């Protein structure tokens, strides 16, 4: 059984016949009322026992977090009258449904609020970028082997002069609003539940968001202010990749050691405990998505729109396991991203920049890892995956075969070369992304 639900076996020791037990399936995000439970599954809680002392006052053990960590079976032993407990359980289910609807209403309000705040500041922010001359310059691009890529310059030199750095505004709005709103969330009647330790979860999420954002910002600053190559690093491809690997290693260790994530759920097959192998696996996922989003960010509205639709899918998955911090973070991110997209669609008045592309790609991967749905993440992020696959395959072919595998890469550039207009490519990518997101969410629910 996958980690999106757990099988609950209810025992009443007061019943003489052992065959008289109650079996039912609890989906992610539901709660169970009981006095004691025995846990089984690939988790550090394996074989552990939990005790709840006061059933009548609504004491609960939230199993959502345990499900996210790979728990497959809970054996719940009643030590009080079963009928009394089941009455409390039914009452709690009704309360829980109302709480979920209230939580959803609040999170939607957070999304709208983030959109409004970003919309207020985005025009002054664009004017500031113009004033700082933080704009895209005409460039002569080269690949990883130092070879010119004139086809890229042919299609993109017309974008010279447009401000770059919209991702920085999104990062600032999301971070500041989260810091302000989250401590006040209980005042709105929201019960804060999370799949992992709250502080550790937020540390991983924001370390990813901010550290990769800073790396991208340095790359943007270096690129647009023409720092000399002999200065520190210069963020050539190999240097940038090295820094990404270092950050991904730190984040993967935090996921494994601090949050206890070490499993891989594969739909139709089951959940596998990876142990220490989870660390290199997570590193690969993080670095791949970081560069995939960066490569996809080549057409007006392409990366931003695909990311927006992807985040709606991950938002739903986080809500299923009642992870309020991640749901709130994604809502703030979505609201701000939608406002940015208004100015990023063709013809763009603002670009995301590496500050946004690196931060958003890495954080997208980490959220997928935290909700325990890596396979669904690969489906939801398929456009990003395919874009980086074509780019990587092209570079590998140049290195090994000394010739190109494709006429041009990544794939969206290939479509441009064959005469597709930029808005046509982006709009069809958005439509495809809607279906991929629906498919990925469906897989995650199996």
Note the residue count of the chain.
446
* 76 and 171, same domain (yes or no): no
- pLDDT given for residue 392 in this prediction: 92
* 153 and 195, same domain (yes or no): yes
What mean pLDDT, rounded, does the chain reach? 79
* 167 and 192, same domain (yes or no): yes
Helix (H, G, I), strand (E, B) or coil at 389: helix
Task: Determine the structural domain holding residue 113 and report its residue range.
Answer: 97-444
Encoded tokens for 267 = 């739909």
* 101 and 76, same domain (yes or no): no
State how many domains the chain has.
2
Question: Of 22-36, 335-349, 390-404, where does mean pLDDT reach its minimum?
Answer: 22-36
* 104 and 71, same domain (yes or no): no
Burial 119-141 (b: 16+ CB within 10 A, else e): beebeebbeebeeeebbbeeeee
Q: Are 387 and 302 in contact (CB under 8 A)?
A: no
Q: Is 234 left (phi over 0), alpha (psi -120 to 50) or beta?
A: left
Q: In whole angstroms, how far apart are CA 259 and each of 3, 6, 103, 303, 385?
A: 16, 20, 24, 30, 26
CB-based contacts of 72, cutoff 8 Å, min separation 6: 1, 3, 6, 7, 40, 41, 42, 271
Q: How confident is the model at residue 64 (pLDDT cuts 50, 70, 90)?
A: very low
Position 305 pLDDT exceeds 80: yes
* 61 and 119, same domain (yes or no): no
Position 99 pLDDT exceeds 80: no
Place of tokens 């790609």: 361
What single DSSP character describes residue 41?
A: S
Encoded tokens for 193 = 């539940």
Pairwise pLDDT comparison (26 vs 184), residue with the higher score: 184
Q: Are 404 and 397 in contact (CB under 8 A)?
A: yes
Q: Are 29 and 316 in contact (CB under 8 A)?
A: no
Position 86 pLDDT exceeds 50: yes
Q: Are 383 and 433 in contact (CB under 8 A)?
A: yes
Among residues 20, 53, 80, the one where a domain terminates is 80
* 131 and 279, same domain (yes or no): yes
CA distance 328 to 446: 25
Q: In whole angstroms, how far apart are CA 247 and each of 38, 177, 346?
A: 37, 25, 33
* 220 and 353, same domain (yes or no): yes
Spell out the alpha helix ranges (H) of 48-193. 64-68, 82-131, 150-156, 166-181
Q: Is 132 left (phi over 0), alpha (psi -120 to 50) or beta?
A: alpha
Q: In whole angstroms, how far apart are CA 299 and each of 246, 312, 419, 421?
A: 29, 21, 14, 10
Asked if the structure places residue 85 within a domain, the reply is no
Among residues 80, 111, 144, the one where a domain terminates is 80
Asked if the structure places residue 91 within a domain, the reply is no
Q: Are 303 and 358 in contact (CB under 8 A)?
A: no
* 148 and 229, same domain (yes or no): yes
Q: Are 125 and 169 in contact (CB under 8 A)?
A: yes
* 49 and 115, same domain (yes or no): no
Q: Is the dihedral of CA 258, 259, 260, 261 positive or negative?
A: negative
- Rounded mean pLDDT of 205-217? 97
Question: Of 156-160, 233-237, 308-312, 314-318, where does mean pLDDT reach its minimum?
Answer: 233-237
User: In terms of DSSP bridges, do strands 5-11 and 73-77 run parallel, antiparallel, or are they unpaired?
Assistant: parallel
Collect contacts of 397-401 with beta carbons under 8 A, ≥24 apart. 398/143, 398/145, 398/147, 399/145
Q: Is the dihedral of CA 99, 102, 104, 107 positive or negative?
A: negative
* 128 and 68, same domain (yes or no): no
- Rounded mean pLDDT of 91-114? 78
Q: How confident is the model at residue 348 (pLDDT cuts 50, 70, 90)?
A: very high
pLDDT digits (tens, 9 = 90+) for 308-320: 999 999 999 998 8
Q: What percent of the chain has pLDDT over 90?
A: 52
User: Radius of gyration over alpha carbons of the chain, in Å?
Assistant: 24
pLDDT digits (tens, 9 = 90+) for 246-300: 999 999 999 999 999 998 888 888 888 899 999 999 999 999 999 999 999 989 9
Residue in 377, 362, 367, 384 with CA at minimum distance from that of residue 210: 362
Pairwise pLDDT comparison (339 vs 396), residue with the higher score: 339
Position 102 pLDDT exceeds 90: no
| Strand partners for 135 | 163
Q: What percent of the chain has pLDDT over 70?
A: 72
Asked if the structure places residue 92 within a domain, the reply is no
* 296 and 439, same domain (yes or no): yes
- pLDDT given for residue 96 in this prediction: 59
Q: Are 324 and 396 in contact (CB under 8 A)?
A: no
Phi, psi of 106 (to 5 degrees): -65, -45
Among residues 28, 47, 80, the one where a domain terminates is 80
CA distance 387 to 394: 11
Phi, psi of 417 (to 5 degrees): -60, -35
Position 54 pLDDT exceeds 60: no
DSSP per residue, 206-257:
HHHHHHHHHHHHHHHHHHHTT--TTSS-TT-HHHHHHHHHHHHHHHHHIIII
Asked if the structure places residue 87 within a domain, the reply is no
Predicted TM-score of the model (pTM): 0.81
Asked if the structure places residue 428 within a domain, the reply is yes
């Amino acid at each position: 059984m996958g980690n999106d639900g757990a099988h609950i076996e209810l025992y009443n020791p007061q019943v003489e016949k052992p065959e008289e037990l109650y079996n039912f399936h609890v989906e992610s995000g539901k709660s169970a009322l009981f006095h004691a439970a025995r846990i089984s599954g690939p988790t550090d809680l394996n074989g552990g026992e939990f005790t709840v002392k006061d059933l009548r006052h609504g004491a609960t053990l939230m199993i959502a977090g345990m499900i996210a960590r790979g728990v497959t079976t809970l054996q719940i032993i009643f030590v009080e009258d079963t009928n009394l407990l089941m009455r409390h359980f039914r009452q709690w289910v009704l309360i829980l449904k109302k709480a979920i609807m209230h939580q959803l209403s609040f999170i939607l309000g957070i999304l709208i609020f983030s959109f409004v705040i970003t919309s207020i500041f985005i025009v002054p922010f664009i004017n500031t970028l113009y004033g700082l001359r933080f704009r895209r310059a005409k460039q002569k691009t080269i690949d990883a082997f130092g070879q010119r890529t004139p086809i890229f310059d042919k299609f993109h030199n017309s974008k010279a002069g447009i401000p770059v750095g919209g991702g920085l505004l999104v990062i600032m709005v999301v971070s500041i609003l989260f810091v302000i709103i989250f401590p006040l969330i209980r005042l709105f009647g929201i019960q804060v539940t999370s799949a992992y330790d709250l502080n550790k979860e937020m540390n991983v999420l924001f370390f990813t968001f901010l550290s990769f954002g800073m790396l991208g910002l340095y790359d943007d600053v270096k690129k647009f202010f023409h720092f000399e190559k002999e200065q520190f690093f210069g963020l050539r491809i190999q240097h940038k990749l090295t820094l990404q690997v270092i950050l991904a290693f730190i984040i993967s260790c935090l996921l494994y050691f601090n949050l206890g994530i070490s499993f891989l759920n594969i739909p139709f097959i089951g959940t596998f405990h990876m142990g220490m192998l989870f660390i290199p696996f997570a590193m690969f996922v993080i670095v791949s998505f970081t560069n995939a989003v960066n490569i996809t960010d080549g057409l007006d509205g392409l990366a931003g729109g695909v990311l927006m639709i992807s985040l709606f899918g991950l938002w739903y998955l986080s809500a299923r396991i009642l992870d309020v911090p991640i749901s709130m973070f994604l809502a703030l991110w979505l609201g701000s991203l939608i406002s940015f997209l208004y100015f990023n669609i063709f013809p763009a008045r603002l670009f995301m920049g590496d500050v946004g592309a690196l931060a958003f790609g890495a954080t997208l991967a980490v959220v997928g890892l935290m909700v325990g749905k890596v396979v669904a993440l690969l489906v939801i992020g398929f456009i990003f995956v395919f874009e980086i696959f074509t780019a990587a395959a092209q570079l590998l072919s140049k290195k090994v075969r000394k010739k190109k595998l494709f006429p041009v890469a990544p794939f969206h550039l290939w479509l441009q070369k064959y005469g597709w207009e930029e808005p046509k490519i982006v709009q069809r990518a958005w439509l495809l992304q809607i279906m991929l997101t629906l498919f990925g969410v469906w897989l995650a629910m199996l």
